Structure 1
Amino acid sequence: MTGRTMIADKEEECQGEVAVEEDHHSSDDPIFDAVQIYFNEIRKKPLLSAQEELRLARLVKEGDFDARQKMIEHNLRLVVKIARHYINRGVTLLDLIEEGNLGLIHALEKFDPELGYRFSTYATWWIRQNIERAIMNQSRTIRLPVHVVKDINIVLRAIHELETNGADSSLEEIAEKAGMTLEEVRWVMQQNEKMLSLDAPLDIDPMLSIGESIPDDKNLQPDMLMENFEMENLVAQWLGKLNEKHRLVIERRYGFNGNEIATLDQIAQSLELTRERIRQIQSEALRELRNLLSRLEISQDMLIPGNFPSEM
């Protein structure tokens, strides 16, 4: 069932609050009316308690269709809440919601209620992944892998922060700010067919610059902070299954557990090992994590933020 079908049938709802003013006046825009009806309908569903969610999730695992529908309906607000963070990224809100709903359904199919965390925490990853991939696929003429587009955004944000005061930034400064090596920055910049000025207006919104369209992870809303806190706890549990050296390299390489993102060279210097040895340790650790996440039916994208190609 897609978002458009759900809107047409006036279905559903989800975790989190959707702040939408009710408009009882007629609109000349049928799409606006459909979205307004959808928002009004999904607000009517009460949030599930942890106990009710656990009961329904167990029934879903047993193949109960009614429980599946109820879990979806009571979590549609979560999709809208997340989708609103991606407005003005080249995809309409309606399409963002549709993609997010598909992620929600996929999350429900994969969710194991016995693992001990709330469904909304698990579903958030799948919803974001679906939405971000839709944006990346629809907003670029040349299709690039998801992790490459994320790398480009990281470099663009680094340039934006370095050049806030009008000064030009060197490649070395960009690499340090982005937490990459010079080779990685050069590679990322080569993948972007046209490095546009951060102050250039976007085709989709003349009032919005590229720099403004890149999400700023430093200014998260309280609900997003709570989701990140829950995810960080899960990540800590997974990393705890690695040996000390593997865990240390992954934590520093990807900025987990309060560490600054470090390059292979920086880690090699601090541990008094060669860069190649650190790369080998990183590959071994990622392989262990992939196997663990595969057993849990969790995408690696949920753990590794995509800041680097894994072998670079």
Structure 2
Amino acid sequence: MVSPFVIHALAQVPIPADAERILARAAVAGDREAREELICAGLRNVALHALRLGHRGERLDEAVAAGAEGLILAVDRFDPERGTRLSTFAWQWIARAMTPPREAPVVELAEAPVSGDDLLVGLPEHLAAVVGLRYGLLCEDGVGMTIDEVAEHLGLTRWQVRDREGRALSHLRSRLARVGRRAPLEEPIPRSSIGRAFDC
């Protein structure tokens, strides 16, 4: 069953190019109503993209909510003078917001395992905080938080949490790959139990 939120998004009417340009110029000048109108109209593309990706049920709601955050960022960065439609410009922001970060690899080296504290060393503080909470490295019980819980705890949006988590995991993968080239693996890389965080 499609939620009222998604139905509302799909029901939005696209704005003609000329009207969009006028609204975008007004939004750049600080007109909040114009900004809101652009965001509302763009929600249709967000919902359609989520459906094309195969999201259904609760996952559809989550994807549309995440995509809406990407849309808002796109609207705030949109330059109507470049001759590009907002829907074209916003596409990458929407797609990026809907793309979940990959699972962090767990690597055991021949000499000693890589601990959670070791993994966070060298990460920028704002990235370490997000990935540490998501995977329980900074939690007393060792249980990772959901995206919503991390967002609330750190005062961030869901999109910001996804973005920072993705950048942190990319950094960690790069670091672990360099370490892995120096020391052979003792056994195959196991699937991490913290991967369940992505099922939330």
TM-score of the superposed pair, with normalisation by structure 2: 0.50
User: In the alignment, is residue 62 of structure 1 matched against residue 23 of structure 2?
Assistant: no
Identity of aligned residues (%): 26
Shift of 1:55: 0.6
Alignment partner, residue 94 of structure 1: 61
Distance verdict in 2 for CA 1:194–1:81, change over 3 Å: farther
Matched, 1:37 2:4: yes
Distance 1:57 1:80, change over 3 A: same
Structure 1 residue 116 corresponds to structure 2 residue 61? no
The alpha-carbon deviation at position 116 of structure 1 amounts to 0.9
* CA–CA distance in structure 2, aligned partners of residues 74 and 50 of structure 1: 12
Match 2:15 to one of 31, 44, 48? 48
More helix by share: 2
Post-superposition shift, 1:148? 7.7
8 A contact 2:26–2:34 mirrored in 1: yes
Q: 1:120 to 1:194 in 2, by over 3 A?
A: farther
CA distance, structure 1, for counterparts of residue 189 and residue 76 of structure 2? 38
> How many angstroms does 1:141 deviate by?
5.1
Pairing partner for 2:101 from 111, 116, 136: 136
2:50 matched residue in structure 1: 83
Q: 1:145 to 1:101 in 2, by over 3 A?
A: closer
Give 1:194 shift: 5.2
Whole-Å Cα distance in 2 between the matches of residues 36 and 63 of structure 1? Answer: 32
What is residue 116 of structure 2 aligned with on the other side? Answer: none
Cα deviation for residue 40 of structure 1 reads: 2.8
Alignment of 1:273-312 (within 5 A): none
Q: Shift of the alpha carbon at 1:147?
A: 10
Asked which structure has the greater RCO (Cα within 8 Å, sep 6+), the reply is 2
| AA in 1 matched with 2:101 | M
Displacement of 1:81 in angstroms is 1.5
Superposed CA offset, 1:255-306 (max 9, x none): xxxxxxxxxxxxxxxxxxxxxxxxxxxxxxxxxxxxxxxxxxxxxxxxxxxx
Work out the number of aligned pairs and report it.
123
Aligned-residue Cα RMSD (Å) equals 3.5
Which residue of structure 2 aligns with residue 20 of structure 1?
A: none
- Give the Cα separation in 2 of the matches to 1:40 and 1:124: 20
Gaps of 5+ in 2: 106-130, 132-164, 192-197
In structure 2, what is the equivalent of residue 125 of structure 1? 92
Aligned to 1:3: none
Q: Structure 1 72/96 Cα, relative in aligned 2: closer, same or farther at 3 Å?
A: same
CA contact (8 A) 2:3 2:61 kept: no
Instruction: Tell me the TM-score normalised to structure 1 length.
Output: 0.33
Structure 2 residue identity aligned to 1:61:
V
Against the structure 1 CA distance between its residues 39 and 147, is the aligned structure 2 distance closer, same or farther, given a 3 Å change threshold?
Answer: same
- Give the Cα–Cα distance (whole angstroms) in 2 for the partners of residues 94 and 49 of structure 1: 27
Q: CA shift at 1:64, angstroms?
A: 0.5
